[in-house]
Amino acid sequence: MEAGHSQGHPAVPPEARDGPQSAPRTPAGPVATVRSPPSLRSPHVINIDDLRRRARRRLPRVVFNYVDGGADDEVTLRENCRVFQDVTFRPRQAVAMSSVDLRTRVLGTELAFPALLAPIGYLRLIHPRGELDAARAAGAAGIGFIQSTISGHALEKTREASTGPVGYQLYLVGGRAASEAAIERARVAGFSALYVTIDTPVAGLRERDFRGGMRELLGGSFASKLRFLPQFVVRPRWVAGFLRDGGVPRLENVVIPGEGPMQLIDVVGALARSRVTWDDFRWIRQAWPGPLVAKGVLTGDDARRAIDHGATGIVVSNHGGRQLDGASATLRALPEVVAAVAGQAEVLMDGGIRRGSDIVKAICLGARAVLVGRAYVYGLAAAGQTGVTRALEILRTDVERTLKLLGCPSIAALDGSYVDGPFGSR
Ligand code: GLV
Whether 214 is in a domain gets the answer yes
In CATH, what number is assigned to the domain containing residue 366?
A: 3.20.20.70
- The angle subtended at Cα 46 by Cα 44 and Cα 51, nearest 5°, is 75
Whether 7 is in a domain gets the answer no
Whether 2 is in a domain gets the answer no
Range of the domain at 354: 14-23+34-420
Q: Write a three-state SS string for 377-425.
A: HHHHHHHHHHHHHHHHHHHHHHHHHHHHHHCCCECCCCCHHHEECCCCC
Structure confidence at residue 424 as a pLDDT band (50, 70, 90): low
Look at residue 22 and tell me whether its pLDDT is greater than 70.
Answer: no
Whether 43 is in a domain gets the answer yes
State the Cα–Cα distance between residues 187 and 286, nearest whole angstrom. 13
Biggest distance spanned by C-alpha atoms of the chain: 67
User: Following CA atoms 34, 37, 38, 41 in sequence, which dihedral angle do they give, to the nearest 10 degrees?
Assistant: -60
Tell me the pLDDT tens digit for each residue of 374-385.
999 999 999 999
Look at residue 90 and tell me whether its pLDDT is greater than 70.
Answer: yes
Percent of the chain surpassing pLDDT 70: 91
Distance 26 CA to ligand 1 centre (A): 34
Contact 319, 326 (CB under 8 A): no
Tell me the pLDDT tens digit for each residue of 65-89.
999 999 999 999 999 999 999 999 9
Distance 267 CA to ligand 1 centre (A): 6
Whether 4 is in a domain gets the answer no
Distance 121 CA to ligand 1 centre (A): 5
Look at residue 44 and tell me whether its pLDDT is greater than 50.
Answer: yes
Q: How many separate domains does the chain show? A: 1
Average pLDDT, the chain: 91
Q: What is the DSSP string of 83-131?
A: GGGG-EE----S---S--B--EEETTEEESSSEEEPP-TTHHHH-TTHH
Look at residue 25 and tell me whether its pLDDT is greater than 50.
Answer: no
State the Cα–Cα distance between residues 281 and 411, nearest whole angstrom. 32
Q: What is the DSSP letter of 249?
A: P
Catalytic (active-site) positions: 319
Q: Mention every residue, 6+ apart, whose C-beta is less than 8 A from residue 253.
A: 147, 149, 151, 154, 155, 168, 182, 185, 261
Closest ligand 1 atom to 204 CA:
4
Q: Mention every residue, 6+ apart, whose C-beta is less than 8 A from residue 326.
A: 72, 75, 76
Tell me the pLDDT tens digit for each residue of 126-154.
999 999 999 999 999 999 999 999 999 99
Whether 29 is in a domain gets the answer no
| Residue located nearest, by CA, to atom 2 of ligand 1 | 121
Tell me the pLDDT tens digit for each residue of 220-279.
788 888 999 999 999 999 999 999 999 999 999 999 999 999 999 999 999 999 999 999
Pocket around ligand 1: residues whose beta carbon is below 6 Å from it?
A: 121, 148, 150, 267, 319, 322
Distance 270 CA to ligand 1 centre (A): 9
Whether 324 is in a domain gets the answer yes
Probe target for ligand 1 pocket from 199, 210, 271, with the most ligand atoms within 8 Å of CB: 271
Nearest one of 213, 201, 241 to 382, comparing CA atoms: 241
Whether 9 is in a domain gets the answer no
